[in-house]
Structure 1
């Protein structure tokens, strides 16, 4: 596929607000297919089909491929290109406005090459209905990929790490140079594999409350846990001190020191 020629034929002008960088590297496409492990009976949701380089490869294996594209010109191009593929549905759709609960079946595999400027909102959107999925394989800015896979004690570990790892086993499976895209983005990328857990990694009776505690704890990274949580205005000093004591956690630690299990233990005594 000669991306430059296709874009020229379409008289296509890139929209910077959509972060349109088209993946063309065959080795990277092979890497995605390897880690996706698409089987004939799989339903696959592709986010950001672009010019269809990955769509073409996915359509050869998936039982049902639903590809979303928000750009009207690219949507029409894709509709024409894949009009004879009975297992492919091309939708003109913004993933942030797409109700994933409407997808057929369960254990859906999500494959996405996300616009970097909106990757975090899309990731949070997917986590809301994560039980529909078995696997989420996403191309992200390298810095964001390192944040969501970070472990406790790391400066990159934060609320986004916990949100993702609460629901999935997250790992970076490939580093992707900017030259794999046309035009090249300003940063390098990473392919992240999120294997969805059958159940959240910790047993929480109030997940919303748990995530409020996590968000408050990371709201002031340089402050101690006690000061960050107290500053949220949601809990009294007495209750907070009692919770630290009951959980066996030092109030002088910083948020990045706590594992998900330790946050769950602390939240248990705060909620």
Structure 2
């Protein structure tokens, strides 16, 4: 009897070892590197078509120790796996209070990995984290619904370390005459400034319903620098040549409010091809320092 029991245990261990290597459809999951500064993408094959089963299998893969010493499990053992609920294009992950025991950097790495993994599944676009049935809160703010583009850089883009920045962006309301806050966690190479990342993310536009574009999609960031609390932003001519369906102040203060939400920035100077002696939409002179504008925010 003991021999049979032992054989069953060995068989179970073997099944677990190959669970992330079976034939079927390809999916990716993540480890982190030994210094815990970047994500490492791994591939597995799964036979099931059930999104719930796929997510649970990917969670198991993430929690399985890698044979490569350079690859480390992201989530600490003391953090329990979440319950998974799916409704149409939305996935809810509900953790217990052990989630809040993770340090900030580990937490954002793990959250990025989970969102990227889940949104690769067919028909799932949005992911939300709960803790004990309540919205996940970071830096005294509810994180809310996330998409893959909330974590803009992919994992294996070279040897540069990855930095994570919590930012508040300002997109337009549907009416186009007010701004609405959009909290995001952005991952980026250590050689890309948070200021440039903020503007490029505004240019890409929002990914969540209820938020609307403020800048032309073709505009390019020519340069950005911060001197004595003033952010000097040099944009390509598309900023003034192409129109977005919002009032004149919205593009200016979408940029200004977003940049002024970063530490160390008190005001913004906007240039177009190096020139600030022009008027935006023939009504707003760019030859000035723009400061955070609370009155345009839709509360």
TM-score of the two chains, using structure 1 as the length reference:
0.34
Instruction: Select the structure with the greater relative contact order (CA < 8 A; seq sep ≥ 6).
Output: 1
Rg comparison, structure with higher value: 2
Q: Which has the higher strand share?
A: 2
